[in-house]
Every structure is written in C-alpha cells, then in structure tokens.
Amino acid sequence: MTMPALRRSLGVAVAGVLLASGAAVLAPLTAPASAGAPDDVSMTAQEPLLDDPRPGRAAIRALGDKLPQAAVRNGLAPAELRALLREQPDAWVDRRGALYYADPAPSPAELAAVPRAAPQPLAALADTFALHSNPSARLTIFLDLDGATVAGTAWNDDAGIPAGDHPAWDPAGNGSTFNDAERSAIQQVWAIVAEDYAPFDVDVTTEDPGVEALLRSDAADTEYGTRVLITPSVAAHEGLCDAVCGGLAYLGTFDEIGPDAQPAWVFPPALSDDPKAVAEAASHEAGHNLGLEHDGKGEEDYYEGHGSWAPVMGAGYVRPVVQWSAGSYAGATEAQDDVAAIAGYLGRRADEASNVLASPSPLPSGTAVITSREDVDVYSLGACAAGVTVTVSPSVVAPNLDVRASLHTADGTERLAVDPPSGPGDGITASNMGATLTVPATADGWVLRVDGVGRGTWANGYDDYGSLGAYTVTSGCGSAPPARVPGAPAAVSATAGNTSARVSWTAPSANGAAITGYRVSAAPGGRSCTTTALTCTVTGLTNGTAYRFTVSATNAAGTGPASAASAAATPRAPVPAATRPARMAVPKVKVKGRKVTLTWAAPATGGAPVTRYVIDLNKGKDKVAKASARKIVLKLKKGSYKVRVAAVNRLGQAPYTAWVTIRVR
C-alpha cells in the first residue's frame, strides 16, 4: 500500500537498529548522564585570516605567520595544525582559520561493483520522519533529509556559499513527495547511523527537534546537537567543493556555541543516491564534528578496509562491518581513540545489565547495548529445558556488534559458547553477527553472557574495539517466575504543540512478560493516547492550559503503576514564521545648507528584530545605520540627489521606500 505523500518543505533555518513492536525507537533502558565534554568552543567574533578558504599545503602557505593564530582557534599546537594540513589534502581552513574536511566521493563504479538489495521498511512508513534512537538523550544528531535553509553560518560567511534554500533528498526524482521506496531508503540511512552511535548518550533522529535543541546558546546549555543536512543541493555542492566531495564538516565543533559550524553536509548524488553510502557519509561527517580525524593506511588518506571490515573514518562504502577504530590495523595512519573521543562529547549510554556472573540481571524486555570493548552483559535465564534455544540478535541492518554468547551454570562455569565467524552477507548487513545457543541440559539457574568480539586477525578481520551496538535476546526457557505487571515508566517528558503534546518516556522493567502497550494520560481533562512505542501524541488539548502527563505500561499480567508526572507543558497555537521587515514609509528630509537630515519611522519587523537600515543614495556609496537609529545626517555637495531607505533583519532586506528627491543649493 502506498503511503500518503509527505510534501517536502524547507526546514528550520540553520543560524538495524532493533525495533520493538513496531516502535520506531532504539530505546535506552535508562537515561544516562552525559560525560564531561571537551572545552566549549565558539567560532564567532573572529577576524578573517584568509581571503578565501584553502586546503592542505596551500592553507599553510596562505596562512604564513598567521598559522599559530589559526592553530589556537582550532585548539591545536601550531606544529599539530601544520602536520595535519601537510598530511591531509582534504583538510581545509576557512577565512577565519577554522578547520573543515571536504571528503571525496567514491566512484560510481566502486559502488556499482557491490549490488545492493532494495531497502525494506524498518518501521511504519508514516513514522519515517519521526525515528529516534534514544529519545530521552539531551544531545542530538539530526539527519535532515527534507530540505533546509542555511544562512548566517560559517559556510555562508567563511566557506563560500550565499544564504539560501537547499532541497530535500529526492532519489526517485519525483519532486515534491516521498514515495514508499524513498521512505524505506531514509529508514535504512537512519538505522545505520543510529547503530554507529548506539553506544553513546545521543539521539539519532529524523524528526526536526527545533533550533533550540540543536544550537548551543551558552556554556551552561546542556541540550544541543548537530544537523547533518543530506541534500542534492547543486549550489552547496558546487560552491563548497566544486562538486567533487561526498560530504563536508567542521572539525571538533559539536559543542560549539552558536550556529556557525552547522550543518554537516552529505551530497547523495555524489554517492549514487545509495542509502548505505549516504549513511556511511553521514556517520563520517558527524564524526568530524565530534573531533574525529581520518583513518588512512600507508599512502591512502581514507582506508577502504579489508575483507568485510572498514573504519567509519575511512571509506567503508562497500564493506558491511564499518566500526569505530583506534588505528590497530597494519599500516594505520591515525591512532586516535574514536570511542573515547566521541564519549568525550556525548557521554556513554548507561549500562543496562550486570557484568558479574554471580549477580545476573533479568533478561531485557527490549533492546540492550554493548557500549565499550570492556562491557559484557550478564542475564539470568532461570530454569531451561534441554534443547531450547537462546538467541542474541544484533541490529537488523548493518550491525557493528559481533556477538559472542555463552551459557553458564549457576556457579559460573561456562558450558557452551557460540561465536560464528561473520561473513560479507549482502554487502550491507554482515552474516553471522548474532549467536544462537542450544541449552545442553535441563537445569535451573542458567546464566547468559553477551560480549562483543572480533573476527580472525587484522590480516583478514577485526578486533573487539569497535564491536559495539544494539541487540535483543529471545529465550525458550519456560520456567521463569510468574510474570508481574510492569514497573512505572521513567523520565516522562512532554513537548507542547498546537492543541497537542508529544510525550516521551523510558521503558520500565517488564517483570517477566513483554510490555504490550502504554497509556498516556493528561491532567487536567483526562485526555489520553495509547501506543506500543516510547512516544505518543495526546490531541484535543486546550491551548494556553498547562498539562502534566503520566504513563502506565501493560503486559500479560496487567497494567502497572503510573509514572511520576511530567513537567508542565502548555499547548499554544503556532507562531507565524518570521519574514523580512515591511516596506517603510517615505523618509522625511530636512536640508540646511550642505547638511541633509534624513529621518524615518521604524517599520513592522516581520517577527525578527531589525538589525540595521540601508540608505541608498543615487550618487555615492550606500550608508548603513544601526538598528536603533531613526535618522542620519548626510553632508552633500551642491546638486540634486535621490535617496531611499530599507530595513534589514536576519531574514533579509525589505523593499526600499520610494525615492525622495533632495536639492542642495
């Protein structure tokens, strides 16, 4: 069945994955606290060091004795910046000295050499633009696929493109709608990126969280993120890299204050509109924002990998296992600890299970995550009959987690371990990344241990460093304690809309029976909604009324207790979008000798404050007055002149007033 069309519209201006019961969410079991991020960065209010952006060695020459100043702006020692630019021809320095990468695209022949199956839906197609990997996280990676306006950023001011609109990804070339195949492709892109960032406390989403959730306002702001703009924009592609790159991103700017370094760019036409390639580019460019540099090998700036494996910060377009790296493979040019570097910005996702055989955790009711090479998860299976199976399944699309599962007796003795050698699979999803155990004997107290492992040696495989990601457990063990009603959901939050509120929460303990649904209740008024996901939108609310929301979960044993109430959320009618200022009334002119005083009244602002006034004189240069000014004094020679005035705000310049004639005698 064809889904209803979604009209592509321009987004807010920039100033696999395992799905449970149809939910489009890779859900955290807890809401982890973010680790300490690197020092806050800001690119604003910096004097230009160059006339134009320059790459690599050309940047070294152009900077000359200003290179130490550029190094300071990038948090590097001068020698480090010089070495990076000397060794990385795709590293650029913009006019202010800020580093960004323009990453080359793979050749169409390279991508065509590995046939891809058509992407299949991973969630309801209607939810394509509401996918979340970790909805309770305060930090966000927004995959923006439906177009955006980019204005007032370093890409405009310092890297070479004018402010403008950039279109939605349109792989089908069908214009203003997303068809089912395009939605499936978008879901695959999201799933691959979500798996890459599953170990970290960040929400990878296709739903625009709004400017406030992406742009960091000051050093105390803990809710922010980055936008990865996935667009076929010819203007940006040609203007930023002469249409030869697959993506661009500033380096180490995820926690920057202000909008300058956003977005990171991915250009699907340069990637043959291949969803796997688009996803790899998106993870790679977001990685640059998180301070990651390139993984090369020998003379290669981007290592394309071996066997089934490649590094995210290399070029893993045609490999199914693409993981974070610490440069452990032979000939690596970069020893950066990717996982530690990312965790420095994002923090790690909370560990949901014990790692001690003597004190196992209950089996997860949904998705669990291996977050580091040291992380192992240990679960109680209870009583199991001989011959029943226990399966640990990683992400359904492009998993990074290569599972080793083992069965232990109650005293901790390992009785059985399964770690099948992974294979290339279909080129997107490697085979044999999961593990299925068959219980060898009827007994009580069986314990399951889950670990992320490598395959072979670096000559033909990979180690356990990047074997991280999401998984689920299914068990045929049947003598578990009687199921109880679920616990109370936690971390309930509400985002108000127009006569509605979108409510999110984290899953409670299932207490022995899978959770089959949730009910969200609003107070006052009693409006409610039900869902199997971890978000639900309550409609029919009254604008201007403050509501609090509680959530309860249901399983086969019944409905559990309600959560604590959310903070208040007040629905409101949408605020009209800001526009350019209105055309001003004709200014008044007073001539006294050669001194001409021009006065005017402030216009309607269009919803965004006036930032300046432009005075256009038909003879001579235009003048600029500050936003608070209501007059300007001109000294003119004898003669006849024409003058007009226009207001400017962040959306642009208003139409000029009519011309006013001035005669200086």
Same domain? For 289 and 367 the reply is no
Are 311 and 442 in a shared domain? yes
Q: What is the pLDDT of residue 512?
A: 77
Instruction: Tell me, yes or no, whether 52 lies in a domain.
Output: no
Same domain (yes/no): 651, 526: no
pLDDT tens digits, 389-448:
999 999 999 999 999 999 999 899 999 999 999 999 999 999 999 999 999 998 889 999
Do 129 and 237 lie in a common domain?
Answer: yes
- Same-domain status, 403 and 459: yes
362 preceded by a cis bond (ω within 30 of 0): no
- Give bridge partners of residue 403 from the DSSP assignment: 452
pLDDT of the residue at 116: 84
Q: Radius of gyration of the chain from Cα atoms?
A: 28
The per-residue pLDDT for 508 is 95
Based on the fold, state whether residues 265 and 174 are members of the same structural domain. yes
80: in domain: no
Using DSSP, state whether 78 is helix, strand or coil.
helix
Pair (444, 528) in one structural domain: no
List the structure tokens of 223.
């809710």
Q: Say if 86 falls within a structural domain.
A: no
The pLDDT assigned to 39 comes to 44
Please, are residues 452 and 434 in contact by the beta-carbon 8 Å criterion?
no
In degrees and rounded to multiples of 5, residue 529 shows phi and psi of -150, 160
The predicted pLDDT at position 482 comes to: 60
Same-domain status, 167 and 280: yes
Are residues 269 and 358 located together in one domain of the fold? no
CATH number of the domain encompassing residue 401: 2.60.120.380
Residue 355 falls within a domain, yes or no? yes
Where a domain ends, among 428, 448, 480?
480
Pair 122, 191 in one domain? yes
DSSP 393-456: EE-SSS----EEEEEE-TTS-EEEEE-PPPB-TTSSS-BS-SEEEE--S-EEEEEEEEEE--BS
Low-confidence ranges of the chain (pLDDT < 50): 1-44
Query: Is the residue at 577 inside a domain?
Result: no
Last residue of a domain, one of 454, 480, 506: 480
Please tell me the predicted confidence (pLDDT) of residue 72: 95
CATH of the domain at 622: 2.60.40.10
Q: How far apart are the first and last CA of the chain?
A: 78
- Claim to verify: residue 530 and residue 460 sit in the same structural domain: no
Cβ atoms of 406 and 418 within 8 Å: the answer is yes
- C-beta separation of 430 from 321 below 8 A: yes
Nearest one of 43, 78, 63 to 158, comparing CA atoms: 43
Domain of 538, in residue numbers: 490-559
Q: List 266's β-bridge partners, or say none.
A: 230, 247
pLDDT of residue 317: 95
The answer to whether residue 583 is domain-embedded is no
How many domains is the chain partitioned into structurally? Answer: 4
Inside any domain, residue 544: yes
Q: Distance between CA 127 and CA 17 in Å, rounded?
A: 15
The domain boundary residue, chosen from 422, 451, 480: 480
Yes or no: say if 461 and 455 are a contact pair by the CB < 8 Å rule.
Answer: yes
**What integer pLDDT is reported at residue 481 of this predicted model?**
56
Is the omega angle on the peptide bond into residue 263 within 30 degrees of 0, that is, cis?
A: yes
> For residue 478, what pLDDT is reported?
67
What is the average pLDDT value for the chain, to the nearest integer?
Answer: 90
CB within 8 A of 664, min separation 6: which ones? 591, 593, 594, 596, 636, 637, 638, 639, 640, 641
Handedness of CA 231, 236, 242, 247 (dihedral sign): negative
Task: Flag whether 151 is in a domain.
Answer: yes
Quick one: 529 and 644 in the same domain? no
Q: What b/e sequence results for 612-651 when a residue is b if at least 16 CB atoms lie within 10 Å of its CB, and e otherwise? A: ebbbebeeeeeeebeeeeeebebebeeeebebbbbbbbbb
